[in-house]
Structure 1
Amino acid sequence: MELVNGRPEDTAGRLEKEIRTYDFLDSLGVAYQRIDHEAAMTMEACEEIDKMLDATICKNLFLCNRQETSFYLLMIPGDKKFKTKELSSQIGSARLSFAKDTYMEEFLDITPGSMSVLGLMNDKENRVQLLIDEDVLRGKYIGCHPCINTSSLRLRTEDLLQKIIPAMEHEPIFVKLGTQ
């Protein structure tokens, strides 16, 4: 594994949604570094990758309310515990649970194990509300997948907040978890 600048030179064998992610970042003039690796399905599998990225690595949780009418993408530090009740009270939503994989694919064009804030670029109808735990923003860099879990990106936190999220037109709600 090697940390390289920007998109892959050869895109043969890469999924269209991954290429679309690089096109999106490049169109915004966002600099990023990339590591290609074996599929990383869990936070544990990402440990070596995380060391190379030297960035805040997020758990990205895809949640919904009981009625499956409101959907959320929660960015939380990888080492932080998630408590449904704590988040529910902050966003004024009844009981939250993990959303079905079919919604993840339909709304964000992402499959399980590849969840990423960058998937919001595919949510043109704004069906998913972005939630960001304040601790995610403490580091200079954020690590995430380019909508596929065989690569990982390092983005400047400042670019995520000032360029990427505004371009995706998803106004985040900032939450503070882990206080209870």
Structure 2
Amino acid sequence: MPKSPEDLFAYLDGLGISVRTKSHPPLFTVADSQALRGEIPGGHTKNLFLKDKKDNFFLVTVGEEAEVDLKQIHHVIGAAGRVSFGKPEPLMEYLGVTPGAVTAFGLINDTAGRVKFVIDEALMREEIVNAHPLTNEATTSIAGGDLLAFVEATGHEAHILKVSA
């Protein structure tokens, strides 16, 4: 059973990580979420759940405005050939979220370490990073360094790479 947002908040609290969360109507796209600008400061994320031809999975987190070359990203993230978007079933199985709610916080559900996490170096220049807390009905603000501490606590490595153009 995937973790709930409440489980996530308890986990973050247990790590001594302070976050702020704002509830809102469901947001499915970057365009939807841009309506909240001004209410939630910091860098806002766009998340790509990708799969290569050898069934390796990648969660790539970039700034919402970032442009990503999907035909070339495999060179950057270390994929075995070109990548495609992962299907909803492995997304739920590994990260415990549905399309539209993809988030770095989903790593809490990847206890087997099946997903490689890549975060764009440009996004890491933001003091605050905003992501869905396992649901697209809220946005959680976390300090960039605390996000990295969370990722490591889940047993993942945060690969900070130049992903965006």
Same fold (TM over 0.5): yes
Question: Where do 1:133-172 residues align within 5 Å?
Answer: 133-161=120-148, 163-172=149-158
**TM-score, normalised relative to structure 1:** 0.86
3-state secondary structure, aligned to 2:156: coil
Deviation at 1:87, TM superposition (A): 1.4
Deviation at 1:31, TM superposition (A): 0.8
Task: Provide the rounded CA distance (Å) in 1 between the counterparts of 2:69 and 2:25.
Answer: 30
| Residues 112/170 of structure 1: CA separation in 2 closer, same or farther (3 Å cut) | same
Provide structure 2 residue ranges, at least 5 long, that are not aligned to the other structure.
Answer: none
Contact persistence 2:76–2:163 (CA under 8 A) = no
Task: Provide the rounded CA distance (Å) in 2 between the counterparts of 1:73 and 1:31.
Answer: 23
After superposition, what is the alpha-carbon deviation per residue over 1:118-175, rounded to whole angstroms, capped at 9, x for unaligned?
Answer: 10011000000001111110110000011001111100011112x2111111112222
Partner amino acid for 2:118? L
3-state secondary structure, aligned to 2:106: helix
Deviation at 1:24, TM superposition (A): 1.0
3-state secondary structure, aligned to 1:125: coil
3-state secondary structure, aligned to 1:177: coil
Task: Provide the rounded CA distance (Å) in 2 between the counterparts of 1:105 and 1:84.
Answer: 22
Deviation at 1:16, TM superposition (A): 5.9
Q: Which moved more, 1:110-119 or 1:89-98?
A: 89-98
Query: Which aligned runs of 4 or more in structure 1 are off by greater than 6 angstroms?
Result: none
Task: Provide the rounded CA distance (Å) in 2 between the counterparts of 1:50 and 1:86.
Answer: 30
Partner amino acid for 2:49? F
Which of the two has higher C-alpha Rg? 1
Partner amino acid for 1:86? Q
Deviation at 1:18, TM superposition (A): 1.3
Equivalences, count: 163
Q: Give the superposed CA RMSD.
A: 1.5
After superposition, what is the alpha-carbon deviation per residue over 1:15-40, rounded to whole angstroms, capped at 9, x for unaligned?
Answer: 96111111111111111111100000
Contact persistence 2:46–2:61 (CA under 8 A) = yes
Deviation at 1:80, TM superposition (A): 1.1
| Alignment of 1:89 onto 2:111 | no
3-state secondary structure, aligned to 2:44: strand
Contact persistence 1:86–1:177 (CA under 8 A) = no
| Alignment of 1:100 onto 2:87 | yes
Task: Provide the rounded CA distance (Å) in 1 between the counterparts of 2:77 and 2:139.
Answer: 29
3-state secondary structure, aligned to 1:54: coil
Match of 2:114 in 1: 127
Deviation at 1:89, TM superposition (A): 1.1
Match of 1:114 in 2: 101
Task: Provide the rounded CA distance (Å) in 2 between the counterparts of 1:177 and 1:152.
Answer: 23
Percent identity between the two aligned chains: 28
Contact persistence 2:101–2:135 (CA under 8 A) = yes
**TM-score, normalised relative to structure 2:** 0.93
Task: Provide the rounded CA distance (Å) in 1 between the counterparts of 2:95 and 2:22.
Answer: 22
Contact persistence 1:35–1:49 (CA under 8 A) = no
